[in-house]
Structure 1
Amino acid sequence: MAFNTGLSGLRASQVDLDVTGNNIANASTVGFKGSRAEFGDLYASGFLSGGSNTVGDGVRVQDVKQSFGQGNISFTDNGLDLAINGDGFFVLNNGGEIRYSRAGQFGVDKDGFITNNQGMRVQGFIADDDGNLSGIRGDLQIESGNLAPRRTTELQSDLNLDSREPVLERRVADMGDFSVAPPATGFPQETFEITYDDGSVVTTTINPTNVGDYSAADVVDVLNGPDGLSASATTQYEGISEADLDAAIAAGNFSFDLSVGNVNVPVDTVSVTDAASLVTAINAAQAPTVSASLVGGNLRLIDNRGNNLTAGFSSDGPSQAPETTVGTVRPQADREITDIASTGGGTNLTASWTSRSINITNQFTPDDQRTYNHATTTTIFDSLGNSHEITQFYVKQPAPGDGVGVSEWSVYLQIDGEFVGGTGTNPYQARFDQDGNLQSINGDPNGQILVDDWTPKAADGTPNGADGPPAPGTNITTPIPEPPTTSAFVLNLAETTQYGSDFGVTDQQQNGFTTGRLSGLDVSDEGVLFARYTNGQSQSLGQVALASFSNTNGLSPVGETTWVETFDSGQPIIGAPDTGTLGAIKASSVEESNVDLSAELVNLIIAQRNYQANAKTIETSDAVTQTIINLR
């Protein structure tokens, strides 16, 4: 009996030594889970022979159980090294056999599959071409080919337009030219009333003292006084023929009389030989606002200030007495003036007002920053992945109606310097409410502008072969449906505001990109593999799958730090990391062995002592038996 009891103890101690030695040997094995030997005592008893003083028959090994406790997580420089922080196992495809492991030392094989160092492929949830994850499980693969370009179908601009900005665009009423008919030598007296859009009235008078030679320049001085009213004037004289001048100069003793604004201007005629040289002499005289020329056989004199011009000549031959010409006035009134009414006098200013036409004196010009308040530029892409610059121009407009509780801005769009969206002739009108929020764009409360007239072009201005605008009459819906087939895209300004602060771009995003090459990989805590490309884009390639079991201890170890499913473990529950009871993924990390080396060394001493003690039991039994044999 004692021999068997001691022998069972030796066997158990040997198993304990083997388990402890295996733990110590794998203390540095990534993903390894330590084991322990579990023992049970042996008793031999029959149905009717059980007693209170039964002697045991020794010990037996009941089980070698693994501890699946969490190991320490250490960082590495390999982006595909993955550690599980929590419950779960990586799912590995070993040539059709499914294995499970906690060792996350992964890499990429020649075909782009993610594998462990034994060539087993990591399984996960596959992503489609657009990076959308599916519930389909398969071997994770990294496509090393170029990322195909994507055309821009939506551009979102979140801006703030400064409500303090002035209205730059100046609309004026061009009232046409008016003058006095000969033989008048000046404009007569006239008083008129100017009515403004706020109801105020201003009275002003032309030629208040009723002098006879009141010039166009004098009228301009008066009209430039009231707010919103301006004028310019010119005087043109053509009363002398070139042939008469040539004859008079040839006759000798020639002199030319010129007065500008009743001031005599001496003209040096000493070296004058013909009408052409007289033009040179007049232009050299001390009259900087007057220019002379020969036009249609006549001498033309122009004063660009509107002063009265008096001209004549004398000689030993033909002569012409001085004649006076009164200039022409060109008045303009801006939008704040609603009416001009004559209250006395005889000019035709009032008649000119009634036939006025509205003109824009500083029409929006993209090359002149004085004609717009704000501008911002971003990059968009055509179907071939070519980049293009789109610029948005914002021009503040007078508030519609009475201006209470509403503001309005004009929106112009250019791509590569060419107007799109029809904004070259008809800009979009963005209207804001009293709180600075966008009400509508051209009446659309969604704040969207559909650009459907853009033809992508190369640097030389010719179409570059990318998809162009839709055919005439094609109905374009927004958002642009996938897959897009034209260059049409939507500019979304729904989040644009108009506050009393500086202009700023809060956010500007577009969904297009050019082609790109794979430049790196990232793995999230949810196990999603993101591919980074040289065009700045990232796209999910798949998601690592994790498996859990109802009875983890029922798994059967098969080497290579892997386990397989057994009847005792139950079927695996496979899901995404960091969901349910499954742990999170830590990238560039591995889970170390959970073996406590100090504890194992102590266990080694204990197993050794147990082995020695059981051997001593056998030795003692042998001595007792020998004593019995030696009895005579």
Structure 2
Amino acid sequence: MAIAGGTFQQGLSGLNAAQRGLEVIANNVSNASVVGFKGSEAEFADVFARAFNGARSSSAIGLGTTLSSVNQSFKQGNINVTGNPLDMAINGNGFFKVASTAGEMVYTRNGQFNVDKDGNIINSKGDKLQGFPIDSTTGRASDVAGNVTVSQAAIPPSPTRGSGLELNLDARATAISGAITFDPSNLNSYNNSTSMTVYDELGQSHIMSIYLRKDTPNNWSAYATVDGTQVDVGLSPVTPTVAPAQAAAGALVFGVDGKLSTPANASFTVDLSRFVTAAGVPFSSTGASPNSYTFDMSKVTQYGSSFSVQNLSQDGYTASPFSGFNVGADGTLTISYANGKQVDVAKIGLYKFSNPEALQPVGSNGWLATQAAGSELVSLSEDSGFGLIQSGALEESNVDLTAELVAMISAQRVYQANSQSIKTQDSLLQTITNLR
């Protein structure tokens, strides 16, 4: 009878094991369409009885099976493009980190986010995505993580604080006689000119024209006007008490290789003291004087080819409304404005653990850190040890439905076989019971 009881126990453990295996499979199948879900696998172990002294007989028969553990598989799921900039998929290792409404830091692969009324990027539960704010001055990300926010306010204007030219002056051009005074309205008083738009403190646009005049071989002068008013160009701000009739010009000296040798740092100061905006405010409140800025001439050359302008640049802009945002592969969140200005506001960090299988699942595709999982590691840049963030896409569940259905059939057969072993033992016990 003891043997019969053991057989019943073995069959019962097999039924329980098959049942638990089916539960794991069913959970995988039910979450096959859940974004970022990671499937699990049940692991089983056999059971043996031991004598009181710890010895085990070579003829001992096991007592059945038991569920050893349920392990999650963190293999990569397929990436599905959605086009929504708030959808983010991790291609490779790592987790997003969110601050839950319960005050816990939760790790997730589900990149379905949206923006709340305060501009916080949140998931469907209201958990706030964590990232590292970027300093607008230095462009560096903070070392302390916080809630990632997207401000949809308009960007305020910024005056032009620096500008630059990239052009070639024709070395074959004829020098202009010193007897001819520079005059913007006199085409014979300069060789070439070009214009760009610059901005004052209120974001109002103005036209700055640059005039280039060849004085002697390899020596040129640079003049400038803003909305037709001459301004000073030189190595330092002029800011005269009484401005002379002729504005100062910047001297350009080229070497035999056609490259600029003077000024030594290839930059001038544009002094706007002569120019007053219609609003009566300083053109720019930064620089060595209340309204001056640096003009970069490092890409000006003098070669034996026609005058040509490759690029004109300046860093000012007018006020402009929010137009959108995107997240780069390195996690940089960039806000775009209607005037074309783009501002990096935060870096969304990716987190990983040396033993992610030891993370504690808390539902809603989230896990909590545990001591067994190891220390939290974070990357703020494109790092080979971490995955890349793909904006406008989502990571699908890593459950293979075909494999799960095959495993389900197998588990069903195991359940039936264990049921049959119990039924067979019951038949034998019935025979013994009926002996006369």
Report if TM-score (shorter chain) is over 0.5. Answer: yes
Q: Quote the residue 2:256 is aligned against.
A: 434
Indicate yes or no: 2:200 matched with 1:385. Answer: no
2:253–2:260 CA contact under 8 A, matched in 1: yes
What is the CA–CA distance in structure 1 between the aligned matches of 2:338 and 2:330, rounded to whole Å?
24
Partner of 1:414: 225
Q: Which residue of 1 aligns with 2:241?
A: none
Contact 1:556-1:566 within 8 A present in 2 as well: yes
Partner residue in 1 for 2:17 = 12
* Contact 1:455 1:469 survives alignment (8 Å): no
- Does the residue aligned with 1:498 lie in a helix, a strand or coil? strand
1:34 correspondence with 2:39: yes
Structure 1 residue 165 corresponds to structure 2 residue 170: no
1:435-474 counterparts in 2 under 5 A?
435-440=257-262, 444-454=263-273, 457-458=276-277, 463-467=278-282
Distance 1:30 1:425, change over 3 A: closer
Q: What secondary structure is seen at the aligned counterpart in 1 of 2:383?
A: coil
Paired position in structure 1 for 2:213? 395
Counterpart CA distance in 2 for 1:111 and 1:512 is 29
Distance in 1 (CA, whole Å) between partners of 2:163 and 2:284 is: 17
Q: Are the counterparts in 2 of residues 523 and 587 from structure 1 also a CA contact under 8 Å?
A: yes
Match of 2:189 in 1: 371
Task: State the match for 1:502 in structure 2.
Answer: 306
Instruction: In structure 1, give the amino acid aligned to 2:67.
Output: V
Inter-partner Cα distance in structure 2 for 1:119 and 1:528: 22
What secondary structure does 2:430 align onto? helix
Q: Contact between 1:156 and 1:509, CA under 8 Å: does it hold in 2?
A: yes
Matched ranges for 1:250-269 at <5 A: none
Partner of 1:159, secondary structure, is: strand
| Superposed displacement of residue 24, structure 1 | 0.9
Cα offset for 1:398? 2.6
Partner of 1:115: 122
Given that 2:90 and 2:388 are in contact with CA atoms closer than 8 Å, whether structure 1 keeps it comes out as yes
Contact 2:166–2:310 (Cα < 8 Å) also in 1: yes
2:426 is aligned, of 622, 625, 629, to: 622
Deviations 1:398-437 (A, max 9, x none): 33xxxxxxx1112111111110006934432211111111
CA positional deviation for 1:451: 2.0
Q: Which amino acid aligns with 1:65?
A: N
Q: Does the aligned pair in 2 maintain the 1:41–1:59 contact within 8 Å?
A: yes
**2: CA distance between counterparts of 1:50 and 1:85?**
50
Q: CA separation of 1:456/1:385 partners in 2, compared to 1, >3 Å: closer, same or farther? A: farther
The amino acid of 2:110's aligned partner reads A
Helix, strand or coil at the partner of 2:42: strand
Shift of 1:455: 5.3
5 Å-filtered alignment, 1:16-415, equals 16-46=21-51, 47=53, 50-95=56-101, 96-130=103-137, 132-167=140-175, 169-170=176-177, 359-360=179-180, 363-399=181-217, 407-415=218-226
CA distance in 2, matches of 1:485, 1:70: 58
Per the TM alignment, residue 164 of structure 1 is displaced from its structure 2 partner at its CA by 1.6
Distance, in Å, in 1 between the alignment partners of 2:66 and 2:114 is: 44
Contact 1:577-1:585 within 8 A present in 2 as well: no
Shift of 1:129: 4.1
User: Partner amino acid for 1:452?
Assistant: D
Distance in 2 of aligned mates of 1:371 and 1:485: 30
3-state SS in 2 of match to 1:497:
strand
**Contact (CA 8 Å) 1:132, 1:540: kept in 2 or not?**
no
Which residue in 2 is equivalent to 1:595? 399
**Equivalent residues of 2:276, 2:283 under 8 A apart:** no
Write out per-residue CA displacement over residues 337-378 of structure 1, whole angstroms, 9 at most, x where no aligned residue: xxxxxxxxxxxxxxxxxxxxxx43xx4332233432211111
Instruction: Give the conservation status (yes or no) of the 8 Å contact 1:529–1:540.
Output: yes
CA contact (8 A) 2:141 2:346 kept: yes
Q: Give the distance between the partners of 1:100 and 1:469, measured in 2 at CA.
A: 46
Deviation at 1:49, TM superposition (A): 5.0
SS in 2 for 1:493: strand
Measured after TM superposition, the shift of residue 48 of structure 1 is: 6.0
For residue 625 of structure 1, give the secondary structure of its aligned residue in structure 2. helix
Q: 2: CA distance between counterparts of 1:573 and 1:616?
A: 51
TM-score scaled by length of structure 2: 0.91
1:493 matched to which residue of 2?
A: 297
Q: Which residue of 1 aligns with 2:240?
A: none
Amino acid at match of 1:145: A
Contact 1:71 1:593 in 2 (8 A): yes
Q: Say whether the 8 Å CA contact 2:177–2:215 is kept in structure 1.
A: no
Q: Distance in 2 between matches of 1:510 and 1:528?
A: 24
Which amino acid in the other structure matches residue 259 of structure 2?
Answer: N
Q: Contact 2:136 / 2:344 at 8 angstroms: preserved in 1?
A: no
RMSD value over aligned CA atoms?
Answer: 1.9
CA-to-aligned-CA distance 1:504-523 (integer Å, 9 cap, x gap): 22232212211121101011
Distance 1:516-1:625 versus aligned 2 partners, 3 A rule: same
Give me the whole-angstrom Cα distance separating, in 1, the residues matched to 2:363 and 2:113: 17
Residue 580 to residue 503, structure 1, CA distance change in 2 (3 Å): same
- The CA deviation at 1:25 is 0.9
Q: Residues 473-622 of structure 1 correspond to what in structure 2 (within 5 A)? A: 486-579=290-383, 581-622=385-426
Q: Give the letter for the 1:541 counterpart.
A: V
| Structure 2 gap ranges (5+) | 1-5, 235-245
Aligned residues: 417
Query: What is the distance in 2 between the residues matched to 1:37 and 1:519?
Result: 49
CA distance in 1 between partners of 2:63 and 2:248 (Å)? 104
Q: 1:516 to 1:425 in 2, by over 3 A?
A: closer
Give 1:385 deviation, angstroms. Answer: 1.4
1:456 deviation in Å?
Answer: 5.1
Match of 1:496, SS?
strand
Matched position secondary structure for 2:45: strand
Deviations 1:445-496 (A, max 9, x none): 22222122335545xxxx41322589xxxxxxxxx66xx8722111121221
Conserved in 2, the CA contact under 8 Å of 1:43 and 1:56? Answer: yes
Contact 2:232 2:272 survives alignment (8 Å)? yes
Q: Is the 8 A contact 1:556 1:563 kept in 2?
A: yes
In the other structure, the counterpart of 1:239 is none
What is the rounded CA distance, in whole Å, between the counterparts of 2:265 and 2:233 in structure 1? 19
Query: Deviation at 1:53?
Result: 1.5
Closer, same or farther: CA 434–129 of 1 in aligned 2, 3 Å: closer
C-alpha contact (below 8 Å) 2:160/2:284 kept by paired residues: no
